[in-house]
Amino acid sequence: MSQLDPTLMFDKARAAQYDSQFARANAFRDVIHLVTDLAFASLPNDARILVVGAGTGSEIIALAARHSSWHFTAVDPAGAMLEVFREKAIAAGILDRCTIHVGYIETLADLPLHDAATSLLVSHFLQTDASRGAFFAEIAARLKPGALLVNADLAADMTEKISARLYATWEQMLRETGADAAGLDNYRAGFGKDFAVHTPAAVEALIENNGFERPSPVLQTLLMRTWLTAKT
């Protein structure tokens, strides 16, 4: 696997503070959830949603609150993140509508095909084109033909002059969500290495070449881009 171990990056300590750490930037999270909810409006009442890299499952909590009979398959290798999600699902009374899989998407056992999928801020952790492409292909394999996918990732053309201003604004968000000077240095050193920062066009090509239609950009929140597409 061409990525840092997510069970170390998203360990118990990180999982415990993940939801509160970015409170200042909750509007970014919420607008991605709103766009996802709008995109999925035509799904049937009994829709099955595959949520890859679910983490603490905020996208599931948001969608489940508005769609009382949708079923969710939450997939994530980081068990500590999914444990936080499990507690949130119990509190929200939706655990019986969730299948929780601790592991990578390729280890997800045969389940009925899904009507839609989300992958929010996940695929950039896969650092090579090959592994990132395979990730999208594994999602496509678990979807019905025509099923929708909302994918969000960090993406930017860092060779463009304007990207420096964008990065500075992103860094301000990190500062205001608790990063100190050492943390910002560390983040800068890992940018594009610990996680991929492909250009938007490169991410779109990886999605399109691995089982999906050409994705439509539906949202940009600083360095985060969100696309909507459908399985071919």
Closest C-alpha among 74, 130, 134 to residue 99: 74
For residue 164 the two structure tokens come to 């420096």
Stretch that binds ligand SAM, among 52-60, 179-187, 207-215, 219-227 (CB under 6 A): 52-60
Stretch that binds ligand SAM, among 34-42, 121-129, 163-171, 198-206 (CB under 6 A): 121-129
Q: Of residues 61, 84, 122, 230, which one binds ligand SAM by CB under 6 A?
A: 122
Nearest distance from C-beta of residue 39 to ligand SAM, angstroms = 15
Q: Any contact of residue 121 with ligand SAM (CB under 6 A)?
A: yes
Phi, psi for 54 (deg, rounded to 5): -65, -30
Would you state the torsion angle of the CA atoms of residues 80, 178, 23, 11, taken in this order, to the nearest 10 degrees? 0
52 vs 64 by CB, closer to ligand SAM: 52
99 vs 162 by CB, closer to ligand SAM: 99
Q: Any contact of residue 10 with ligand SAM (CB under 6 A)?
A: yes
Binding mask 11-50 for ligand SAM (x = CB under 6 A): ----------------------------------------
Q: Of residues 39, 47, 50, 52, which one binds ligand SAM by CB under 6 A?
A: 52
Question: To 5 degrees, how large is the angle CA 166–CA 170–CA 175?
Answer: 145
In angstroms, how far is CA 49 from the centroid of its own chain? 13
Q: Which residues, 125 to 184, sit near ligand SAM by CB under 6 A?
A: 125-126
Q: Of residues 81, 139, 147, 149, which one binds ligand SAM by CB under 6 A?
A: 81
Q: Of residues 120, 143, 147, 224, which one binds ligand SAM by CB under 6 A?
A: 120
Q: Of residues 47, 49, 55, 127, which one binds ligand SAM by CB under 6 A?
A: 55
Residues making contact with ligand SAM (CB under 6 A): 3, 6, 10, 52-55, 58-59, 75-78, 81, 104-105, 120-122, 125-126
